[in-house]
Amino acid sequence: MGGRRIFKSMMTAGVALVVLAGLASPAASQSLSDRFKSLFGGKSDEPAPAAPQAPQQGLSATQIEDGCPSVAVRAGASTFAVAAPGKQATGNDVRYQATLGRTARDCRKDGDQIVARIGIQGRIIVGPAGAPPSIEVPLRVAVVQGGVGEKVIATKAYRTTVEVGEGDSVPFSLVADDLVYPIPPGGDMSSYIFYIGFDPQALAPEKKAPRKKK
């Protein structure tokens, strides 16, 4: 019970640290915040209200930047827990759990396509079963057209390695800077959104294409 209670306390504190990364001032969190500011100029995933614009062809670079979709966490993919071998990721059998926190994004025009950068901050919290010194965190980023039936426009898996060391709670960050998708017909990006989340399948070895018989 003691280990489980401590882990729950760590989880509560860890989530608070992620959400309030800008208020707390540990050196690691500060350096991640500085990195976000240098990459994105302080733009967060909460865009400022903008006057509606009529859809049009040939969007300018400014319109692309102002219409850059917001970032949301995909339902059911906000945490990533790993258990000891042969165990379930619950209670004292949890080795570590990853959570998502701040995000940032920007978009630029490249011909008839949009190149997006999605910045993600999160935190690894060590569980009662103990985490390895190095952890691979699997993430997926997708641009989705919302509506009655969502349509995935582009999606890509990413992995980032986090050195845990002796810490009980360590931050991590990832910048997905190569998500490319076409400018939507008519230039209307109002229904687009960036979804992020943990994707354990991203850790699976890539399947090699079968060799062609000569």
pLDDT tens digit sequence for 46-86 = 443 333 343 334 567 677 777 899 999 999 999 999 998 89
Residue 100: the pLDDT is 96
pLDDT band at 214 (very low <50, low <70, confident <90, very high): low
CA distance 170 to 158: 19
Residue 26: the pLDDT is 37
Phi, psi of 12 (to 5 degrees): -60, -45
Residue 49: the pLDDT is 38
Percent of the chain at pLDDT > 70 equals 67
CA distance 191 to 53: 13
Maximal CA-CA distance, the chain: 63
CA distance 124 to 136: 11
**What are the domain boundaries of the chain?**
2-47+57-203
**pTM, to two decimals:** 0.72
Residue 19: the pLDDT is 38
Residue 204, token pair as written in the block: 């699976």
Residue 184: the pLDDT is 85
CA distance 83 to 130: 9
Q: What is the mean pLDDT of residues 164-183?
A: 91
